[in-house]
A and B are shown apart, each in its own frame.
Chain A
Amino acid sequence: MNPCATVQKYLSSYLDQSLDPQLRQEIDSHIQECPECAKILQDLKFLTSRLKNVQTLQASDSFEKNLRQRIIDNTATKEENNPLKTFSYGLSAAAILVAVYFFINTNPTTPSDNIISPAPSKSSIMDARMSEEITTNPDLDKETNTQMAVDDSIESKRLTDEEQREINLVDQ
């Protein structure tokens, strides 16, 4: 390798006095014989000293005031646009509704329940009839069961198709 290139590789460390003594001595010897490397070293000494003394700036008088304003603005914007916050409000409302539903439907019997009992819904009447039918007809044959299953399947498919059409319509 070109000795100048090798020396120039270590000039910074030479300037910072962080070279081991032997290497430093070798560079010293080279510099005494090589005017080009000696000039570069001289320039580097000047430049590092010059860089240390560049004029320093001071922050403007309004720096702290502007910073405070930035913090306030960003914090306010963040709170306004926080989707998690909106989601948490929705979640809380849903939780309250679920709690109310369970309270109404699973509340143990109290004297007031005897006075006002809930009106039976259509589905509960149907369930009761079906249950009665099943219990009163324990020998319901396989064929009937199969037919009911097919009917259910057809009805279910029809409903699904209708729902799908509704969804598609909405999308269109």
Chain B
Amino acid sequence: MKQGEDYSKHRESADEELIARFQQGDNYAFDLLVIRYKDPLLNYVFRFLGDRTDAEDIVQETFYRLYKNKHYYKEIAKFSTWIYTIAGNLAKTELRKRKRRNLFSINYYMSTDKDYDLPDDQTSPEKDANTIITDDIIQQSVDKLSPKFKQVIILRDIQGFSYEEISDIIKIPLGTVKSRVNRARLKLQEDLKYLMKDIT
């Protein structure tokens, strides 16, 4: 069978079906999982680390771990939560490494106190809010959160996971997820409220 036919045959398959096929030796199923998850995972890890190159490296490592440890997956869990757990753990490890490196770097003390680009004084309240609170500003504010708050806000508000799914990914109780999401949102609001006074 041609590769293209295989791709079209499996394109609509559920993740769990693809991982099952991959576990049985079908490498096309692995390719499809990579195609399906590389961008969502890249965005997740990028928002976590704030660096595209590092994020791509972490996502590659995530897929390599999937390739190497495919038999560890059991169908009791959703594939998406499993792969996000792997990526999240790798991203957190990377953050810890950075923290250790930065403890000995003068830049650490400066980087924790980043400045925003202030909006133009001529900005009118009617101006599109998205041009005032840019993606960079959002990212800088997310970066200020501690990893446990950062992770839940990315999964909930950027990636759109349900509280239950987040609970499965991070392996913490549902109530803790809800509480962390609430606190993370309030921290962001506190951090950015001076930019939102005219636009909301």
- Chain A residues close to B by CB (< 8 Å): 8-13, 16, 18, 39-40, 42-48, 50-60, 63-64, 66-67, 70-71, 74
Neighbouring A residues of B153 by C-beta, 8 Å: 51
Cα separation A9 to B129 with both chains bound (whole Å): 26
- Chain B residues close to A by CB (< 8 Å): 31, 34-35, 38-39, 42-43, 46-47, 52, 55-56, 59-61, 63-64, 67-68, 129-130, 133, 135, 138-139, 153, 157-158, 160, 163, 178, 181-182, 185-186, 188-189, 192-193, 196, 199-200
Cα separation A58 to B193 with both chains bound (whole Å): 30
Question: Are A52 and B157 in touch, CB under 8 angstroms?
Answer: yes
Minimal beta-carbon separation of B58 from chain A (angstroms): 12
When C-beta atoms are compared, the residue in chain B nearest to A40 turns out to be: B189
Question: Are A50 and B130 in touch, CB under 8 angstroms?
Answer: yes
Question: DSSP class of B's interface residues: helix, strand, loop or mixed?
Answer: helix
When C-beta atoms are compared, the residue in chain A nearest to B191 turns out to be: A47
Question: Are B185 and A64 in touch, CB under 8 angstroms?
Answer: no
Q: Show 8 A/B contacts (Cβ-Cβ < 8 Å), sorted by A.
A: A12-B178, A12-B182, A44-B189, A45-B200, A46-B200, A51-B158, A52-B160, A67-B34
Question: Are B182 and A13 in touch, CB under 8 angstroms?
Answer: yes
Neighbouring A residues of B199 by C-beta, 8 Å: 46
Minimal beta-carbon separation of B186 from chain A (angstroms): 6
When C-beta atoms are compared, the residue in chain B nearest to A56 turns out to be: B43
Question: Are A43 and B193 in touch, CB under 8 angstroms?
Answer: yes
Cα separation A13 to B42 with both chains bound (whole Å): 28
